[in-house]
Amino acid sequence: MKILIDAMGGDNAPGEIVAGAVFAKSELDCELVLIGDRSQIEAVAEERELSLEGIEIVHTESVITMEDSPLVIRERLDSSMGIGIEMLKRGEGDALVSAGNTGALHAGSTLFVRRIPGIQRSAIATILPLAKPTMLIDSGANATVTAEHLLQFGVMGSIYMNNIFGIESPEVGLLNIGTEDCKGTQLQQDANRLLKAAEGINFIGNIEGRDIPFGKCDVIVTDGFTGNIVLKLIEGCSSYMMKEIKGMFTKNPMTKLSAAMMSGQLGAFKRKFDSSEYGGAPFLGIAKPVIKAHGSSNAKAIKNAVRQAISYSETGIIAEIAEQVKTVK
């Protein structure tokens, strides 16, 4: 098992990416390839006293930044991300992990690695934390979709949650503005009908915004516009509330003492909102495993993304999707 890692992608690259790779190498059974500027990678490793032994480095000085337009990937296949995509395509690695530009990674994966035959659109499948790990698919790749795309998202999400999280017959919900089948626009009404009729999916019907944090289902199906708003709103709510909680505990000596008494609980509370425990977001529908780690990933998040990439490759999810999509059309 060989995992390709874009060493230059993300807000904390290359430092945290390199550290994450070193942790992954020590804990997990796999080969690792770090793609990026060799001198920067080696400098970071030396500074942090990390050994790169057993980790292959593929050198490039070209980088795609977070601000670049997604389609830049077409002209910059010599970038750390571009080389990763090319190596994955050629079979010189089993999976690719990047914390870089989401749009470019998705565009590159679609253009060069291609989709699974029969899959009309690939989707960014983020695992939300909160009450329980819940997949939000699509969380941003496709701003407009058809009902059949939503059906395929449900199929793919279901297979992933079953294989990676071991959930028997994952519950699939359609994000909508009411629980009755007739609610929403024509898109949701059509998707509801298709999901209900599809075999092999445990469709529980529509779910509403307020159900999301409570883990009402395992897979939340939605278009990439709504999904992106939802994902970022949850991030915003979490960070707003953490800020307010911090303010509450630092108000005066009494509250500070109280915070000290609570410190263990506060740490556990904070972890409930930390999605890095689950690694990154798989691009479901792409013919080979691509994992998008969060832009702000630290070493732990990268290590978890590598672990996730290994499971993704080993479990045969992609073959199962290719098989099942033939029957649900």
Q: Which residues bind a second copy (CB under 8 A)?
A: 130-131, 140, 143-144, 175, 177, 184-185, 208-214, 224-226, 228-241, 244-245, 248-249, 251, 254-255, 257-259, 261-262, 265-266, 268-269, 272
Residue 25 DSSP one-character state? H
**Which of residues 262 and 319 has its CB atom nearest to a second copy in the complex?**
262
Q: How far is the CB of 96 from a second copy (least distance, A)?
A: 24
Provide DSSP, 256-283: HHHHHHHHHHHHHHHHTT-GGGG--EEE
**Which of residues 182 and 326 has its CB atom nearest to a second copy in the complex?**
182
Q: How far is the CB of 4 from a second copy (least distance, A)?
A: 27
**Which of residues 20 and 184 has its CB atom nearest to a second copy in the complex?**
184
Q: How far is the CB of 212 from a second copy (least distance, A)?
A: 6
Residue 210 DSSP one-character state? G
Q: How far is the CB of 277 from a second copy (least distance, A)?
A: 16
Q: How far is the CB of 221 from a second copy (least distance, A)?
A: 13
Q: How far is the CB of 180 from a second copy (least distance, A)?
A: 9
Q: How far is the CB of 213 from a second copy (least distance, A)?
A: 4
Strands (E), the chain: 2-6, 31-36, 55-59, 95-98, 123-128, 134-137, 171-175, 202-207, 219-221, 281-284, 290-292
**Which of residues 112 and 273 has its CB atom nearest to a second copy in the complex?**
273
φ and ψ of 48, to 5 deg: -95, 5
Query: What is the C-alpha separation between 146 and 225, in angstroms, rounded?
Result: 13
- Determine how many CB atoms are found less than 10 A away from the CB of residue 139: 25
**Which of residues 102 and 313 has its CB atom nearest to a second copy in the complex?**
102
Query: What is the C-alpha separation between 121 and 113, in angstroms, rounded?
Result: 13
Q: How far is the CB of 281 from a second copy (least distance, A)?
A: 15
Query: What is the C-alpha separation between 31 and 51, in angstroms, rounded?
Result: 15
**Which of residues 200 and 209 has its CB atom nearest to a second copy in the complex?**
209
Burial of 149 (0-12, 13-18, 19+ CB in 10 A): buried
Gyration radius (Cα) of the chain, Å: 20
**Which of residues 55 and 99 has its CB atom nearest to a second copy in the complex?**
99
Closest CA to 19 of 274, 62, 32: 32
**Which of residues 23 and 225 has its CB atom nearest to a second copy in the complex?**
225
Q: Which tokens in the block code for residue 310?
A: 């290994």
